[in-house]
Every structure is written in structure tokens, then in C-alpha cells.
Structure 1
Amino acid sequence: MMHSLQAVLLIVSLLAADTVAAPHIQKRSFVHHVKRSINRKDPAVGPNAMLKAYAKYGFSSVSRQTNSSAAAPAAGTSGGGIVAAAPEPNAAEYLSPVKIGGQTVTLDFDTGSSDLWVFSSALSKQTIGQHSAFDPAQSKSFEVMQGATWSISYGDGSGAAGTVGMDVVNIGGATATRQAVELATAVSQSFAKDTNNDGLVGLAFSQLNTIKPTKQTTFFDSVMPQLAMPVFSVDLKNDSTGTYQFGAIDMSKAQGPLTTIPVNAASGFWQVDSPTVTIGNQKVANQGGSPAIADTGTSLLLVDPQVANAYYAKVQGATNNAQVGGFTYPCNAQLPDFGVAMGPSYTAMIPGNAITFAQVDANTCFGGVQSNGGANLQIYGDVMFRTQYVVFDGKNKALMMAPKK
């Protein structure tokens, strides 16, 4: 079960230690780019992305026929930072370099969860395989969190679990000096097979953290007091490296002013109301529509069944393909633009030519908009993010959005 990621560029102000007087704050910028590989002709990519999303949120499985004690808040550098986010094949995940105790691993940034976990040297060599595994014995700053454990599991039986420690975590220059790091001592095959991804940086609210007996703060919550602004911004791209930026808003990436969208943080997610959809140039009410989560860790746009049906009714040759496990259509079909309401006054529009997620075969394509199976929760993933500049405001519990330039 992998979740989606992108690398980030950070502009960070370094603070001197409390015991040393600093004459001024020195600002620096850090950029790291990651190569990416796109394969749009893998027939399993689309259905697998859908299965992963369903399992992550515990949705009923997609039917598919086959032919066969609390730690002290982490301190860090002030200002902000950016790190590059590079898409995996079909942009199924966006992966970014992260330094833990001086060791670099490649992690998926996920606004739909709240754990920072990583492959560790405690796993067998066979399980580690081509992954970069964090070795706490090689870190001079690692501290064991006695008695602390963590575990994540999904509806398809996949998951990971392990122990916990505190260490220095650096993302593009933004640094938390005492961040809870969850070390995987067991992972399911689905995680082990994704050899490009060494773990996850959860960026939902800290209340969803799975550490026991006491939940710990996310990286963002840890560094937020030291950031120049209490925000991180996301600029994901389809065929090139994008950025996650902590502590700053880059208006050069936005087309027009940002619209502020209130978030219902009680669930622990970046959750918004989504009362309408736009198909082509027609805006319609989504009667009885479900709330929606802004989730960089999900590849697709999972919408209420009536919304998916209404959209693909406008696509010639589209069908809810039981053999594939989702909506497919001829690759030469003309797709209408699609928009989802984010709160009461903003609609995130996705051009029709940005809807296709992958090819199933030479003539059939798999849509980036799919049904949530009536799960009463819509998941707005990377299909939306690739067309929008999105700012996550941790202090005010809000999103700010604008179309990309």
C-alpha cells in the first residue's frame, strides 16, 4: 500500500541554540531535484492505484473480474524550506529525499495520514532488497523511545509496524531536532515490492498518529512554530519534478489570488465540504454529497458514485469496466473538463486532457476520476493537485487554492 509523494525546495532561517546569542537570522535556500520515470502503458497501474486508495480508507473492495509518554515538541530551523517531489510511473506516488539522522531515504509525502515511518535495518536483507533502510546504530542523534510502538493496517491485509525513536529529520533544509521516527520491523509484501519508496511522511493532523501508548506530532506540527509562515504548499506536476515548500507561499506558481477554504479538522484530515461538481461548463449540485479529503497520498480522484456516473455519461464509449475494476474509455475519446467544489466558494477545475490516468491497452484508457463505491467520503488526490497550487495552513486549519499558471 503505497501512498503518494513529491520533493520540496525549502527556504529556511537558522536559529542559534538558546544558549548562544545570535546577532541575526541567516536565511538560506535548499533545492533538491529527483529524476522521474513515467510509464503510461502499464495496464495494472490504474486499477492498482484504485485498490490502494480503497484499502487505505477501508472502502469496500473494488470488484474486479479476472481471467485467471509524549516527547517534547521537536525544535528546528526557522524560516522555511523546499524539497523536490518526483513522480513515480504514472505519477502513482510522488517521492522526496528526507534525511533522518544524516541518512537519506526516499519517502512519500501523504496529507492523508500522520505517521513518519521508514524501512529500518531491523528488517531482513531480503525484505530490504533495493530499499534504503535507516540504521539507528549509524545515527549519533537517535534516541530510543522506550515502550513505544506503531502499526498501520489496511483493508486488503497490507500494513507495517515497528518501534519508535527520536532523531533529527531534515526535509529540504527544514529541520526537526527531536522528531518521532517510526522504524519498520515488519512490512507487508506490497510495501516491500515498491522499491522506490522507503516509507512515508504523514502530513495530516497529529491526532491520526498511530504511535502507542502516546501519539506523537507530525513533522509539520513539529517545525511549524519555527517556520516563517505556519504553512506548507504543494506544487505537483504531471511529467516533471514538483515541490513541497514549508514556511512560504510562492505566488508565482498561482494563477490569480488564493481562495481560503475552511477545513473540518475534527476528523484529523484536511477535510472540506464539496457540495457541487462541474462537468464541462455545467455546475450541478451533488445532492447528499460526501465531504472530501485533500490527499496527496492518493493518486486518483475518488468521487461519489452519482458524480462518476454523471461524468462518464458525457464520455463516448465510457464504461464501468468490471474486468479492469473502474471506468475506462477509448483513448481517443474527448473528455469534458471536470471540477469539484472545495468549500463554499472555490471549484478546482481539471481540464479534460488531464483526466486520463493510464492506458489499459493500446486503445483503452483508465480514468483518473473514479467512484468511491458509496463510501460517504470523497478523496481528492493527485489528479486534482496536478492542476492546482495548494497551501495547507496549519495555524488557521484551512486550505488556500488557486489554479496553477
Structure 2
Amino acid sequence: MKVPKAVTVGQGKLNLDLDTGSGDLWVFSTETPKDQSQGHNLYMPTSKSKRLDGYSWEITYGDMSSAGGDVFLDTVSIGNVTASSQAVESAKKVSDQFAKDKATDGLMGLSFSILNTVEPKSQTTFLDTVLKQLEKPLFTCNLKHGQPGSYDFGYIDDSKHTGEIAYTNVDNGQGWWGFTAESYSIGGGSNSTHSFHGSQHRGAPGSSIDGIADTGTTLMLLSDDVVQEYYGQVQGAKNDEQQGGWVFPCDARLPDFTLSISGYNAVVPGKFMNYQSVGSVCFGGLQSVGSSGGVPNIFGDVFLKSQFVVWDTEGPRIGFAPQA
């Protein structure tokens, strides 16, 4: 489940989704139309807030949800980390998906700042704004399956993971936390389909899978051939157009899914692949990214909840270890 983080924006607390797949910090505010903002906590610009005259923003996400508005500079704090002059994007319009999601009052983008949509001059993400004051130029996430997880900025809490952290290089050329898994396997031991193997996925050589680590995407979205291979191991699984993806009997045995990343095997337990029940069947946590060009494979929350993850801007690099 997605559990938004309480963030102090200006004078008030808002529940924001921390999203490593985008670069905008935007909020429901007193400028948001009442029929869209009902039930949400609102950002209230004060005399201490500085409006950036002539600046605007508009963002559309992968699921086609969207928002847009104007821009203030204000104080933003998570825990004991404070940005004193952070671009806060005030929503003057939001799509239905956001209006109906009463648990969330906006998003905090934690991608690289190149993805920020503010015009005429893009603004820095919260992470880039506070980077110099952090002990280390990184943050970590320890997301959990079926319970609240945690984020830490500027340090690594070694009590939250076991073993060494395995790092791999990040390709941030497009602003995302992109990395390559050298190979993958389905199942384990004698049930494993092929240990590590592969054909080419999304233009990567050999058996590798290129993708982005994205806390803002709930599911794991990979290429058709990988997804079909996985559900080929699940009795009764089918791609159901009505449900919008792969479904299976709720009591089906789901194999583990393992990604090999710089020699480290990141295992997603099979039970994580049961995302939710829809009627008499269950909807899979692994789905197809689709065939539209330019959409990367996405290692979303289903994958990230299986790992302790370090997002290090130096390098940049991303690190994985088993959760404690």
C-alpha cells in the first residue's frame, strides 16, 4: 500500500507521495478549485511565501493523471531536514485521480532536477535543494509490503538492512534513476524456469533488463516476454483485457522473481506479486509496460518493497540490500 509521508510545507503539514520518477513538488492549495480540493489538507501561502511571478508548471504522469498551476518559494521540511527556499508548485487544477485520492495532498518528486516542469526556468527538487546540508548526498527508502515504510535523508541506517549494500551505476541522462539488471530468474531451486538467462529486453545486450527505479509507480512493469514467461508459471493466470492486465486465482502459487544487479540477487517474494483481489480473481503485481515506444521498464513499489534501497547522487549510483 502507498503510505504518503507527512511533510511540512510553509505553515502546515501535508501528506505527500515521495516519487523518484518525477521532479516536481506540487501541492493542493487554497488556489485549487473547491470541488477538487475537498477532503485534502491545503497549502496556504502566507506573507513569508514568495510568489514567482510569471512562473507556471504542468505535469502529466504515466497513468495520465495530471496537475498544473503557479509557483511559490517557501520552507519545506521532512523530519529534521529543511529547505528554506524550495519551489512549491501550487495546484490550480488537478485530474480526477488526484482529487479522489484523499490520502494524498500532492507529490514530492525525487528524480533528478532535469525533469522539473516549471517554466520559464525549471526549479530544483527538494533533494537537490538540501543536498549540501546533508551529511551524505543521498537518501534511503525502506518500503514495506502491507505496512508503512520509511525514508531517511543524508544517512544510511544500517539497522534497516542485512549484509553489504550492492551498488550499481545510475543512468540519469533522462532524469530518472535508471539502472541495468544483468539478468533475471523466475522461481528458485528445482522450480526455477531457467536460472539466469535471457534474450534481449528493451535494447540491452545479452540477458539484461534496463529500467528505472520508481517509488511513484505501484507495480513492476516489464516487457511482454518477461511478463508472459512469469505468468506461464502460474496456474490459471490469464491476460484479462477487462481487468486491464494479468489476473490469476487468488490461491495460485506465485514463484519468486529475482533480478541480478551487479552480482547481487534481489529477490521479490512470490506473495508480493499478488497485488489485490478484483472480483473473484487477483491482479498481478507484475504487468506489461506495453509496446509504446520510449516507455522504460519500471521497477516500481512491488520490487522496491522487497529491498532496502540507497539513492546516492554521487556517482550517481543506486544500492540494494535485503531488508532487516
Does TM, normalized by the shorter one, top 0.5?
yes
2:247–2:282 contact (8 Å) kept in structure 1: yes
Match of 2:196 among 257, 276, 284: 284
Q: How does 1:84-103 map to 2 (within 5 A)?
A: 91=1, 93-103=2-12
Alignment partner of 1:309: what SS?
Answer: helix
For residue 202 of structure 1, what is the amino acid of its counterpart? G
Counterparts of 2:71 and 2:174, CA distance in 1: 24
The residue type equivalent to 1:347 in the other structure is: N
Contact kept, 8 Å, 1:360 with 1:366, in 2: the verdict is yes
Instruction: Tell me how many residue pairs correspond in the alignment.
Output: 310
| Structure 1 equivalent of residue 38 of structure 2 | 129
| Distance in 1, Cα, partners of 2:141 & 2:316 | 16
Q: CA RMSD in A?
A: 1.5
Between stretches 182-191 and 106-115, larger displacement belongs to 182-191
Q: Give the letter aligned to residue 36 of structure 2.
A: T
Pick from 259, 263, 280 the counterpart of residue 340 of structure 1.
259
What is residue 219 of structure 2 aligned with on the other side? 300
The partner residue of 1:369 within 257, 268, 286 is: 286
Q: Which one-letter code corresponds to 1:190 in the other structure?
A: Q
SS of 2:135's partner is coil
| Contact 2:218 2:301 survives alignment (8 Å) | yes
* Structure 1 position 360, deviation (Å): 1.3
* Structure-2 change in CA distance of 1:261 and 1:284 (3 Å): same
Aligned AA (1:167): D
Deviation at 1:141, TM superposition (A): 2.4
Q: CA deviation at 1:155?
A: 6.5
1:252 alignment partner, one of 129, 153, 159:
159
Judge conservation of contact 1:274–1:289 (CA < 8 Å) in 2: no
Displacement of 1:401 in angstroms is: 0.6
Quick one: which of 278, 281, 290 aligns to 1:360?
A: 278
2:164 and 2:132 map into 1 onto residues whose CA distance is 26
Q: Distance in 2 between matches of 1:302 and 1:191?
A: 22
Q: Secondary structure at the match of 2:195?
A: strand
Question: Using the alignment, how far apart are the partners of 1:200 and 1:100 within structure 2?
Answer: 12
- In the alignment, is residue 105 of structure 1 matched against residue 20 of structure 2? no
Cα distance change of structure 1 residues 156 and 266 upon mapping to structure 2, 3 Å threshold: closer
Q: Provide the C-alpha distance between the structure 2 equivalents of 1:371 and 1:397, rounded to a whole number of angstroms.
A: 28
**1:268 and 2:181 correspond:** no
8 Å contact from structure 2 (residues 23, 111) kept in 1: yes
Q: Deviations over 1:237-261 (max 9, x none)?
A: 1222211000110111112100011
Q: Distance in 1 between matches of 2:132 and 2:125?
A: 13
* Counterpart AA for 2:317: A
In structure 1, C-alpha distance between the alignment counterparts of 2:245 and 2:56, rounded to whole Å: 37
Residues 231-250 of structure 1 aligned to structure 2 (within 5 Å): 231-250=138-157
Q: Which residue of 2 aligns with 1:83?
A: none
Amino acid corresponding to residue 28 of structure 2 in structure 1: F
Alignment gaps of 5+ in structure 1: 1-90
The amino acid across from 1:225 in the alignment is: K
Q: Offset of 1:140 from its aligned partner?
A: 4.1
Structure 1 residue 270 displacement after superposition: 0.2
